[in-house]
Structure 1
């Protein structure tokens, strides 16, 4: 028996819904308030409900699934081609209703609350790291204004700050010392927050066999491992390893015609955070390659010589993505290359 199709345009307070049955007859086409969303769908027979990916889409997908509906989340780029007329909420709901039925549309795997909580931890840490970097640069600039040139590196600067504050001969005004002292205290507070969050990552890894398994891959640490597990689970949404690498934007852009393949720079699609972690991990591994003679190290050295250091980094990141997908999807243990 065919199911009815519904498209819902999510928002904070006003939600637009468009629904059609298997004969393309319009069942509903209106906007409702947030408080009426669940009651409206509770009175609808189990149907396919499509929505665009956004900050609240996982929550609504889970809630509507509890009512017996099949929920599908898709990127907005799959919806835009089917929008007709002006850009408004009801027209968006119609476009979502059409896009959710297309066989070429790719859907986002619905995350659990636990997965979302882990990703919140990652976003919080990332925010604190950016704030710490900005604060260190500000302190460095403030010291330079009084002729005090701080050494390079975060740890060296953190050591130099209290020394500058205690030095009575550097002619720092009392007001400047007070401001620098407050900034230094704030820096120590941020360091403690980041350390606490990294302890949480250690705890998460200790409870996750999959995270421990993929950490055996070259250049993969606890932050990358927990982020990947929280983002893709076991990777069942991808048909093969290249699909995961493509989703991360680690494959070349293709512009081919007339049977002539033309490859350009990497696409840089989808999850920038995961891609950044994989690239940084690959860079750290290749930088510390040294005189190692295992197969993977020799492969990296050869790639650096043939294609340059940066291309080798991206190449290793893409290889790691494929290895990780294989470990998760096939439930196998890592075998060193």
Structure 2
């Protein structure tokens, strides 16, 4: 509603059409992934820029401030959360991670069951909720890097059913 006040409905429609046209020209299919709509996809493209400038997904994670940083001296040290990097891109990945594990009100099914199970597994391993979200953010970096570099669509992995143990 707020964007209708700032812009007219016709202007919003025009901007959305132009964004869709740009996405089709770039041949990115980021919106094929659950949780990524047109606006999020265009924000990712704007913040990442040309994905070919990153030789691998690790460099993109470092650029986004998601990769841990080693702080130490004299052979002693620890890995800590990075406070550097592109904070706007970091926020985009954080919001995407939250959306992937989110369970809608009135529904018992998560938005993305693969990421939800991964999130639960990380918590069972002893990670906090925040650490588990960072793990998901790192996986999202790998996926989005692949989608942008190879210009492919996202395919939801098939999870094999667990057998019941008697």
TM-score in terms of structure 1 length = 0.38
Shift of 1:335: 2.3
Dislocated runs of 4+, deviation >6 Å: none
Cα 1:198/1:243, change in 2 over 3 Å? farther
Residue in structure 1 matching 2:149, options 314, 324, 329? 329
Cα 1:227/1:190, change in 2 over 3 Å? closer
Whether the 8 Å CA contact 1:211–1:225 is kept in 2: the answer is no
Structure 1: which 5+ runs fail to align?
Answer: 1-187
Q: How does 1:116-195 map to 2 (within 5 A)?
A: 191-193=4-6
Equivalent residue number for residue 275 of structure 1: 90
Residue in structure 1 matching 2:45, options 229, 238, 254? 229
Shift of 1:224: 2.0
Shift of 1:250: 0.9
Equivalent residue number for residue 318 of structure 1: 138
Tell me, in whole angstroms, the C-alpha distance in 2 between the residues paired with 1:260 and 1:225.
41
Instruction: Give the number of aligned pairs.
Output: 149
Whichever of the two has the greater Rg, that structure is 1
Instruction: State the superposition RMSD in angstroms.
Output: 3.1
TM-score in terms of structure 2 length = 0.70
Structure with more relative contact order (C-alpha pairs < 8 Å, separation 6 or more): 2
CA deviations over 1:187-243 (Å, ceiling 9, x no partner): x77652267575455324422135761122343232221012223344011010111
Equivalent residue number for residue 114 of structure 2: 295
Tell me, in whole angstroms, the C-alpha distance in 2 between the residues paired with 1:313 and 1:218.
17
Whether the 8 Å CA contact 2:27–2:151 is kept in 1: the answer is no
Q: Secondary structure, in 3 states, of the residue corresponding to 2:80?
A: strand
